[in-house]
Amino acid sequence: MDLLLSNFWAYTIGGLAFGAIYALIALGYTLVYGVLRLINFAHSEVFMWGSFAAVWVLLALGAKGATGLGLVAFLIIGFAAAMAVSAAVALGLEFVAYRPLRKRNSPPLIALISAIGASYVLSEAMGLRDKPFKWFGADDNLADYVGRPREASPLPLDVPTVRLFYIFDYHVSNIDLIVLGSAIVMMVVLDQFVQRSRLGRGIRAVAQDAEAAALMGVNRDRVIRLTFVIGGAMAGAAAMMYLLKIGVTRYNAGFLLGVKAFTAAVLGGIGNLRGALLGGFVLGVAESYGSALFGSNWKDVVAFTLLVVILLFRPTGLLGESLGKARA
């Protein structure tokens, strides 16, 4: 208790930064769920691929040791690479694992099986990435990229921790600021996009009533592709933030984070964008306080217990379900 009280703001800001990462991944779950009523179990691997994309691109550009403006440029490149690759992987996932099922009107549980299969494939493909290069004998040249595929790969970027300003007694660092700032910017942009743009209206229409939307001339397949791309891009951004916060990624980094993010989506009310944001932040902060109160090895227990308790009192999450009805 004393630990939490004496470092209250440190735990709060730290929790919010992690919450932002959860929230961005949760957006992908919630968008797809809103439109397709489907748990996109493989979303966590989309995140993981994004994190590797950032690592590889920065390696290829020799980003290690950059300072000043160069560092800022590399940061932006890292974000762009992660978002692009994640969006592409999400799109491919939709095309290979979900579209054939939709064409056949499969029951939702079957889509879940396909998603589980895709999740294994994506994560194992990353865990075995040295194999195809070994056949061509190219694995030595590419050792930085594909060597030791089951080990953690570090982010090749030296971001010095600079303490910028105080919030009460906590000295906020540049990394906290980058993570929280970019997350909030992206959330606001997405929220406005879904609320105001034509495509966003299409997403809401399909979420509300897919058949009626199709009759009104909304191209359902295009809307679904769009939700996967947006969800993927958000996961990519989260991947870059994760790298900044944690520093390394590995082929199975997505799994637990994905479970947490899905928990966040459910906590806020799945299918509801603002719910995902709220859920992410609540989960992040609760975990952070939990680790202060009971020790860091209990923080996941705190997170899941919180979920169970909230679902008992609000069975559809904090803000209720439905992408269509909640105006966002």
Partner 1 sequence: MNPVSSFFHGVADRFRALPRWGRLVVLAVVVVLVYFLPILNPPVITTPDSDFGAVLFLCAMYALVAIGLNIVIGYAGLLDLGYIGFFAIGAYTVGVLGSAHAKVPLLLCIPAAMAVTLISGVVLGAPTLRVRGDYLAIVTLGFGEIVRLILVNADKLTNGNRGISGIPTPPSLDLFGVPHLVWDGFVARVDLDNQTRFIKFSVVDSIPYYWLALTLVFFVLFLDWRMQNSRVGRAWEATREDEDAAELMGVPTFRFKLLAFATGAAIGGLSGALFATKQQFINPDNFTILYSVLFVAMVVVGGQGNRWGVVVAAALLTYLPERFRDLSDARFLLFGLALMALAIFRPQGLMPARRNVRAKRADEETEVLEEGAAHA
DSSP state at residue 152: -
Minimum separation from the CB atom of position 278 to partner 1 (A): 16
How far are the Cα atoms of 95, 174, 190, 212, 253 from residue 257, in angstroms, in the given order?
Answer: 24, 23, 21, 36, 7
Instruction: Write down the least CB distance from residue 237 to partner 1, Å.
Output: 23
Min dist CB 296 to partner 1, Å, is: 10
Between 196 and 211, CB nearer to partner 1: 211
Helix (H, G, I), strand (E, B) or coil at 239: helix
Within 151-210, which residues bind partner 1 (CB under 8 A)?
A: none
Number of residues written out for the chain? 328
Contact 15/289 with Cβ under 8 angstroms? yes
Judged by CB under 8 A, does residue 216 bind partner 1?
no
Of residues 149 and 202, the one with the C-beta less far from partner 1:
149
Secondary structure element (H or E) that encloses residue 154, with its range: strand 153-154
Nearest CB to partner 1, comparing residues 155 and 270: 270
Residues numbered 41 to 100 that lie near partner 1 (CB under 8 A) are 96-97, 100
Separation between Cα atoms, residue 86 and residue 237, nearest integer Å = 9
SS3 content of the chain, % helix, strand, coil (to 5): 75, 5, 25
Question: Residues 17, 31, 35, 39: which binds partner 1 (CB under 8 A)?
Answer: 39
Quick note: the x/- pattern for partner 1 over 92-131, rule CB under 8 A, is: ----xx--xx--x-xx-xxxxxx-xxxxxxx-xx--x--x
- Map the footprint of partner 1 across residues 264-283, applying CB under 8 A: 266, 270
> Other CB atoms closer than 10 Å to residue 3's CB: what's the count?
12
Q: What six digits make up the tokens of 57?
A: 């691109």
Task: Please give the residues from 290 up to 309 whose contact with partner 1 meets the rule CB under 8 A.
Answer: 295, 297-298, 300-301, 303-305, 307-308
Angle 254-268/8-36 helices, nearest 10 degrees? 80
CA 267, 268, 272, 276 torsion: positive or negative?
A: negative
User: How far apart are CB 4 and partner 1 at their closest, in Å?
Assistant: 19
Q: To which residue do tokens 């950032």 refer?
A: 54
Question: Rule CB under 8 A: which residues touch partner 1?
Answer: 33, 39, 96-97, 100-101, 104, 106-107, 109-114, 116-122, 124-125, 128, 131, 255, 259, 262-263, 266, 270, 295, 297-298, 300-301, 303-305, 307-308, 311-312, 315-316
